[in-house]
């Protein structure tokens, strides 16, 4: 399959327009909230002179009341990679705060997403190929159970069992207290050890829907006429299952996977709170509690950019797996 140029151009243009809209929204939203952060910081830091407030105002790009002027400043700073300065972590730049939290989030959310989809697909395929077996029934039963409990509850349950009762894994945090004194290998071991429960919790929580979606679509694909024809043609079971069945059933699951990838940088707020894990989710949560607008803005922008980028990527990959979408 070749991507038609017009298709690619349209997808990129659409992504660019979406990005612009996201940036404008991101710029406007905090400004709709009343209050002057410069005066707030100036009063909180016991440097409450009007001169200091004026200096801080300038630092935040608020010295001119015109929205258009502020927007221009905002864009200029964005282009230079400057997302502003965090109120709460003053004077640390927002970009630095985000970059510090990002690896933790990527570590657990990315891994658990990949793990969850891979396991869900395998279980779903096996269930659809052998419907009604004990394996299929068990997978379905467990899936419906997982889908009907709140997902943080799974995390709490795992902490209770494997953290508290059995004491196999730490109950929270991303690394042990003696982290700084450890060797490189020791640090890696400490981090890995701390990621097990969060990753498993996240993976289990989202596993059920991946199983159900693929199992459903594959069961339906297996009853299509082209499957009967493939059998009549005497094709091998493998070719029938994968080139004819799974290939067709997989499309919605692939879309789901790409959407999840876009959301990875947003972190998993609830799970990060349950595990006291220092990722983007936790950071955003605290930023909201602390009215740290630049940080919230920065986090939102990062999330928006990554979702738009991954969606664009999915759009460009899609014609290769489903030739029908490459239409004018």
Give dist(CA 132, CA 96) in Å, integer: 53
Is the CB of 103 or the CB of 323 nearer to other proteins? 323
Closest CA to 78 of 16, 32, 26, 17: 26
CB of 62 to other proteins, least distance (A): 54
CB of 227 to other proteins, least distance (A): 9
Closest CA to 246 of 157, 150, 124: 124
Is the CB of 1 or the CB of 12 nearer to other proteins? 1
CB of 218 to other proteins, least distance (A): 14
Give dist(CA 226, CA 247) in Å, integer: 12
- In angstroms, the Cα distances linking 60 to 39, 92, 216 are 12, 12, 52
CB of 248 to other proteins, least distance (A): 6
Is the CB of 10 or the CB of 239 nearer to other proteins? 239
Is the CB of 153 or the CB of 242 nearer to other proteins? 242
Would you report the helix, strand and coil content of the chain in percent, each value rounded to 5? 75, 0, 25
Residue 63, token pair as written in the block:
């010295």
Find where tokens 């997978």 sit: 139
- In angstroms, the Cα distances linking 174 to 61, 97, 111, 171, 321 are 35, 16, 15, 10, 38
Is the CB of 114 or the CB of 251 nearer to other proteins? 251
Is the CB of 184 or the CB of 232 nearer to other proteins? 232
Residues facing 93 on adjacent strands: 85
CB of 99 to other proteins, least distance (A): 40
- Asked whether 79 and 73 are in contact (CB, 8 A), the reply is no
Count Cβ atoms within 10 A of the Cβ of residue 286 and give its class: 0-12 exposed, 13-18 middle, 19 or more buried: middle
Give dist(CA 185, CA 193) in Å, integer: 12
Q: Which residues bind other proteins (CB under 8 A)?
A: 223-226, 228-236, 239, 243-244, 247-248, 321-324
Is the CB of 248 or the CB of 306 nearer to other proteins? 248
CB of 261 to other proteins, least distance (A): 22
- Asked whether 239 and 229 are in contact (CB, 8 A), the reply is no
ω into 91 cis (within 30 of 0) = yes
CB of 125 to other proteins, least distance (A): 16
Is the CB of 19 or the CB of 235 nearer to other proteins? 235
CB of 249 to other proteins, least distance (A): 10
Residue 89, token pair as written in the block:
């972590």
């Amino acid at each position: 399959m070749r991507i038609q140029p017009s298709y690619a151009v349209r997808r990129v243009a659409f992504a660019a327009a979406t990005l612009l809209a996201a940036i404008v929204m991101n710029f406007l939203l905090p400004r709709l909230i009343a209050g002057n952060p410069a005066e707030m910081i100036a009063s909180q830091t016991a440097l409450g002179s009007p001169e200091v407030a004026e200096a801080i105002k300038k630092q935040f790009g608020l010295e001119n009341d015109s929205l258009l002027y502020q927007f221009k400043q905002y864009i200029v700073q964005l282009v230079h990679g400057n997302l502003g300065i965090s109120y709460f972590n003053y004077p640390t730049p927002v970009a630095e705060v985000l970059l510090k939290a990002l690896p933790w989030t990527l570590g657990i959310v990315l891994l658990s997403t990949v793990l969850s989809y891979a396991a869900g697909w395998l279980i779903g395929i096996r269930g659809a190929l052998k419907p009604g077996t004990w394996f299929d029934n068990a997978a379905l039963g467990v899936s419906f159970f997982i889908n009907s409990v709140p997902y943080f509850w799974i995390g709490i349950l795992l902490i209770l069992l494997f953290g508290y009762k059995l004491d196999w894994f730490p109950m929270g945090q991303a690394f042990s207290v003696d982290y700084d004194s450890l060797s490189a290998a020791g640090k890696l071991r400490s981090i890995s050890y701390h990621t097990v429960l969060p990753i498993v919790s996240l993976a289990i929580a989202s596993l059920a829907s991946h199983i159900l979606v693929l199992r459903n679509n594959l069961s339906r694909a297996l009853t299509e006429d082209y499957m009967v024809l493939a059998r009549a043609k005497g094709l091998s079971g493998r070719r029938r299952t994968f080139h004819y069945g799974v290939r067709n059933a997989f499309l919605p699951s692939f879309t789901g996977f790409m959407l999840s990838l876009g959301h990875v940088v947003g972190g998993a707020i609830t799970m990060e709170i349950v595990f006291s894990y220092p990722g983007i989710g936790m950071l955003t949560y605290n930023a909201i509690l602390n009215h740290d607008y630049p940080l919230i803005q920065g986090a939102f922008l990062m999330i928006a950019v990554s979702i738009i980028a991954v969606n664009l990527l999915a759009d460009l990959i899609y014609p290769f797996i489903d030739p029908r979408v490459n239409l004018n």
